[in-house]
Amino acid sequence: MASDSGITPRETDYSQWYLDIIREAYLADYSPVKGCMVLRPDGFAIWDAIKTDLDRRFKETGHVNAYFPLFIPQSFLSREAQHVEGFAKECAVITHHRLRAVTRDGRTEVEPDPAAKLEEPLIVRPTSETIIWHMYARWIDSWRDLPILINQWANVVRWEMKTRPFLRTAEFLWQEGHTAHATRAEAEEEARRMLGVYADFARETLAIPVVPGVKTANERFAGAEDTYTIEAMMQNGWALQAGTSHFLGQNFARAFDVTFQNEAGERELVWATSWGVSTRMVGAVIMTHSDDDGLVVPPKVAPLQVVIVPIWRKEKERALVCDFAERCRAVLAGAGLRVHVDDRDKLKPGAKYYEWERRGACLRLEVGPRDVANGSAFAKKRTGGDKFGVALEGMAERVQEVLDEIQAELLARAVAHREANTHRVDDYAAFKAALTDQGGWYLVPWADDGANEDAIKAETKATIRCYPLDAQDEAQGRTCFYSGRPATHMAIFARAY
């Protein structure tokens, strides 16, 4: 049941809370096409900020952008054996290239034109390995052509039956890096490097302390030899896979016959990686930081960093406070901050405060006649705490400091939450009891075994999120919490989106 704000408290119904936030903060809306959402301007702005920051990191690590076709010939999907299993199932299939108008009962309607059936159906890309490796076969001939370090920002479609805004939709926006290398070592290094880029980005920009790790064979990408992941903990203790990086070995090179002449003059198959993050990250941001009052987003990706609310009672005060508010806005905008003056008529300041809290403005500046006289505004952080004055003189620097504080606070909270909800258990009975009782993540010694993984999933709905990279030393000499065999890894088990 929603409160007055229209937002269901997290305690009452976490899933509904998430949907309420998205609606009340105008982040996304449902479209008339099943499973496809509309990214409204504020929701898109978060993605745009993510994109700008990641794009810079990709370029700093030597990558360039390109663009490959939306459509993939149906036959391409059957080239890589595992890939067809993983991706050929639920996808959008194009069979005709024309509609025709037909008149029925005096109404004109349209329908696929039977005369315009495609010889070979096309599918809308669920991911682009196949078409990209088809092109790489044309571009790669010698070791001099390697490495190829290409990234693509694109939309992809996977026909999902059960959707949730941002987290799982039929169409979504993402980036997909596809690299080609002369050696295994170089490709493996690339896959790990991009995992590191993602992990740093999530922590520094999104204030999400993700855990980087390796997926088990069960959870691997279709066609990969190794799948690396960053896993984020949501406020309900569930895990969310926020990005993946794959070492693809020579599987796609073999399927698309991509070889190169090495320096010794011999032909070899090319080594590959791919890596991607999507608009799912926007869902991770919302779920990690927001509260029962509405959206909370880290300043680095917030649609609005500062909202200025001028306050007047008498008409003659209005020009005074609005003028001062505009001067504040100009100073902050000039420093590159995202700032807005809410000077709407006939809406009380309290109603404005309330609205901007719901919509996640990071910092509110109130400007009344007395503030103008003092040459300052009265500030309130979205993350709480007492109000404080900020002088117009030096305002840009001071506000940037406060935004940095907010960014750091959000990260500290998320780290504390993750630590408080990550548990270490040694035996399966204790794990089951704790999972039911308190949820969260479980770091356990584990003997790698797909069948056991399936059995635990069937019984508890928990899956192995990853083998965290920085915890593997701990497995030595320990016993698997489930099978009792010698542990091969430390694994994180959790419920996941």
Q: Is residue 460 near a copy of itself by the rule CB under 8 A?
A: no
Q: Which one among 6, 99, 389, 419 touches a copy of itself, defined by CB under 8 A?
A: 99
CB of 75 to a copy of itself, least distance (A): 7
DSSP 487: P
Q: Applying CB under 8 A, which part among 61-69, 196-204, 409-417, 478-486 lies near a copy of itself?
A: 61-69
Q: Is residue 82 near a copy of itself by the rule CB under 8 A?
A: no
Closer by beta carbon to a copy of itself, 89 or else 370 = 89
Dihedral sign (CA 375, 390, 371, 314)? positive
Q: Which one among 12, 15, 31, 374 touches a copy of itself, defined by CB under 8 A?
A: 31
End-to-end CA distance of the chain: 23
Q: Are 447 and 481 in contact (CB under 8 A)?
A: no
Q: How far is CA 136 from CA 188, 191, 246, 254, in A?
A: 19, 18, 18, 12
Q: Applying CB under 8 A, which part among 102-110, 208-216, 373-381, 390-398 lies near a copy of itself?
A: 102-110
| Count of C-beta atoms within a 10 Å radius of residue 90 | 12
Dihedral sign (CA 216, 208, 156, 17)? positive
Which residues in the 166-225 window bind a copy of itself by CB under 8 A? Answer: 171, 173
Size of the site for a copy of itself (CB under 8 A): 65
Q: Is residue 88 near a copy of itself by the rule CB under 8 A?
A: yes
Q: Are 414 and 207 in contact (CB under 8 A)?
A: yes
CB of 290 to a copy of itself, least distance (A): 21
What is the C-alpha separation between 437 and 434, in angstroms, rounded?
A: 5
Kind of pairing between the strands at 107-112 and 148-157: unpaired
Q: Is residue 95 near a copy of itself by the rule CB under 8 A?
A: yes
- Beta-strand ranges (E) seen in 238-355 are 239-249, 259-261, 267-269, 271-278, 306-310, 339-341
Q: Is residue 50 near a copy of itself by the rule CB under 8 A?
A: no
CB of 96 to a copy of itself, least distance (A): 4
Paired strand residues for 491:
444
Q: Is residue 109 near a copy of itself by the rule CB under 8 A?
A: yes
Comparing CA positions, the residue from 378, 358, 360, 359 lying closest to residue 368 is 378
What is the C-alpha separation between 307 and 450, in angstroms, rounded?
A: 51
- Beta-strand ranges (E) seen in 158-207 are 171-181
Closer by beta carbon to a copy of itself, 333 or else 469 = 333
Q: Is residue 45 near a copy of itself by the rule CB under 8 A?
A: yes
Q: Which one among 12, 15, 65, 438 touches a copy of itself, defined by CB under 8 A?
A: 65
What is the C-alpha separation between 390 and 380, in angstroms, rounded?
A: 10
Q: Applying CB under 8 A, which part among 35-43, 229-237, 312-320, 379-387 lies near a copy of itself?
A: 35-43
Spacing of C-alpha 132 from chain mean position: 23
Q: Applying CB under 8 A, which part among 130-138, 220-228, 247-255, 375-383 lies near a copy of itself?
A: 130-138
Q: Which one among 25, 37, 284, 480 touches a copy of itself, defined by CB under 8 A?
A: 37
Closer by beta carbon to a copy of itself, 32 or else 265 = 32
Report the b/e string of 388-397 with b at 16+ CB within 10 A.
eebebeebbe
Q: Is residue 84 near a copy of itself by the rule CB under 8 A?
A: yes
Place of tokens 């903060």: 25
Residues that bind a copy of itself (CB under 8 A): 29, 31-33, 36-41, 44-45, 47-48, 64-78, 81, 84, 88-99, 101, 108-112, 121-124, 131, 134-135, 138-139, 150, 154-155, 157, 159, 171, 173
